[in-house]
Amino acid sequence: MAQHDYTIANQSFPNTRSDLNNSLSAIVSNNSGATEPSTTYAYQWWYDETTDILKMRNADNDAWITMFTFNQTADTYSLATDVELTITENLDLTGSATISGDLTVDTDTLYVDSTNNHIGVGTTSPAQIVHINEAITGSVRLRIENSEGFGEFSTDGDAVQLRNQAGVILNSVNAGDTQIRDGSSSVKMTVTSSGTQFNDAIFLGGTGSANELDDYEYGTWTPRYSSPGGDPSSVTYDRQNGYYYKIGGVVHVWWTLRTDAINTTGMSGDFYVSGLPFTVGATVNDSVLAGGDAIVDNFLNDTVLTKTGVLDNAANIAFFVEGSHAGTDATTVLKNAANANSMYGHMTYFVDF
C-alpha cells in the first residue's frame, strides 16, 4: 500500500527525500490501499485493494469512477460491472466477449434485452425472442441463406409470405386468405374462411394417373324428354328438376319430370331423357352403360320403360327393352295429358378422364 497527500512540507533534507520517495511510491502504485486516500484530487487514480478495482476520481473531486476489476491470481482484468463503454471507432475482438447487461448497437440497429432475453432489430422494446421492426411502408423480409439457395419470410401489412429463390411458396393475403404456390408461383391451393380451394389435381395414395382426383362438384341440370329425331314440338313441364355429383370421372345424376301437355311431332326413334350435365365418355363398352333406375307413372306404356342406359359421346339417357339393347319408341310412350309422363330417376355414368 502506498498513498500520499502530495504535499511536500518545509523540512530537513532527509525528511524531504523520504517525503518525495513516498509520493513517488504512491504514484507508481496508483495510490493503492484498502481505503481511499485521505487527500483526493480530481482525476486521481486509486487501486482499491479490498475489491481489486481500479478507480478514478471524477472532475468535481466528489466521487470515484470505477474502471477495471482485476484478478490478481489469474493475472486478468475486466471492465467494472457499472461501466458504460462508448466506442466511436472500429472495435476488433479476437477472443471471446461476455456481456452481462443489455447491448445497444447504433440506437436500435441491434438491441439485446438481457432482462427478458429478447433481441430487437429496429426496436429497443422487443416483444418476442426475435423482434424485427422496419419503419417503412411496404414489404419487410427476413432471409436465411446457404450455398445452395435462400428462403425468405416477409410481411406487408396484414399479408405474410414465405418464399424461396424460385418464388412465393406460401402467401397470406390481406383478406385473410392463405395461398400455397408451386416453384413458379402458380397458386395451387387457397384457404379462405368459407373453405379450401384446390387449383390442381389431388393425388390419393400415390402420384400416378390412377391416383388422381382432378374434380369434385355438385350442381343442377335441366332434364327434358327427347329422341334422336329431336325434341317435342311443344311441351309444358310442371316438374323439371335435375341434380348431380361429379367425383373425378364418375357422375351421378337425379331427375324428376312431369308434363301437363306434350306434342311428339318432330320426335322419332328411341325415347331419351336429355340434357345430362357432362358428356358421356367415349370409352363405354358397346356404347351403352346400364347404371340407373327410374320410377315412372302415367305414360302411354309404362311397362317398356324398364331399363336405362347412357350413350357414349352424348348427353342422353336412353331407355331399353329388358333383355335386349332394343330402344323404346318415344312416340309410343309419351302421353299428351295433364299430370302425365311422371318420372323419378337416377343414373351413374362415366366421363372421359
Q: Where are the domains of the chain?
A: 13-79, 103-132, 140-198, 218-350
DSSP 8-state assignment for residue 281: P
Q: Is the pLDDT confidence value at 305 over 60?
A: yes
Q: How many CB atoms lie within 10 A of CB 49?
A: 14
pTM of the model: 0.53
- Locate 198 and state its grid cell: 384446390
Q: Which range among 166-180, 233-247, 291-305 shows the weakest confidence by mean pLDDT?
A: 166-180
Which of 204-208, 258-262, 272-276 has the weakest average pLDDT? 204-208
Distance CA 21, CA 235 (A): 132
227: helix, strand or coil: coil
Strands 130-132 and 118-121: parallel
CB 299 within 8 A of CB 305: yes
Q: Provide the pLDDT for residue 310.
A: 65
Residue 116: other Cβ atoms inside 10 A: 12
The partner residues of 230 in beta bridges, in order of sequence, read none
What are 116-137's pLDDT values in tens digits? 999 999 899 999 999 988 877 7
Place of cell 445452395: 148
Give the other-Cβ count within 10 Å of 89's Cβ: 4
* Cα separation values, 9 from 12, 19, 30, 153, 286, Å: 9, 8, 22, 76, 132
* Mean pLDDT of the chain, nearest integer: 84
- 14: helix, coil or strand? helix
Confidence of residue 3 (pLDDT cuts 50, 70, 90): confident
Confidence of residue 79 (pLDDT cuts 50, 70, 90): confident
Question: CB-based burial of residue 304 (10 Å sphere; 0-12 exposed, 13-18 middle, 19+ buried)?
Answer: buried
Task: Give the per-residue pLDDT at 286.
Answer: 44
Rg from Cα positions in the chain: 47
The per-residue pLDDT for range 184-232, each reduced to its tens digit, is 778 888 888 788 888 877 888 888 877 887 788 999 999 999 999 999 9
Bridge partner list, 78: 69
Strand partners, 56: 45, 65
Q: Is the pLDDT of residue 297 over 70?
A: yes
Cα 135 to the center of its chain, rounded Å: 24
CA distance 3 to 29: 8
Residue given cell 456481456 in the structure block: 99
> For the chain, what is the total number of helices (H) and then of strands (E)?
1, 27
Strand runs (DSSP E) across 221-249, as ranges?
224-226, 234-247
Q: Does the pLDDT of residue 278 top 80, yes or no?
A: yes
Note the pLDDT of residue 160.
79
**pLDDT bracket for residue 287 (50, 70, 90):** very low
Worst-scoring range by mean pLDDT, 32-41, 43-52, 171-180, 321-330?
A: 321-330
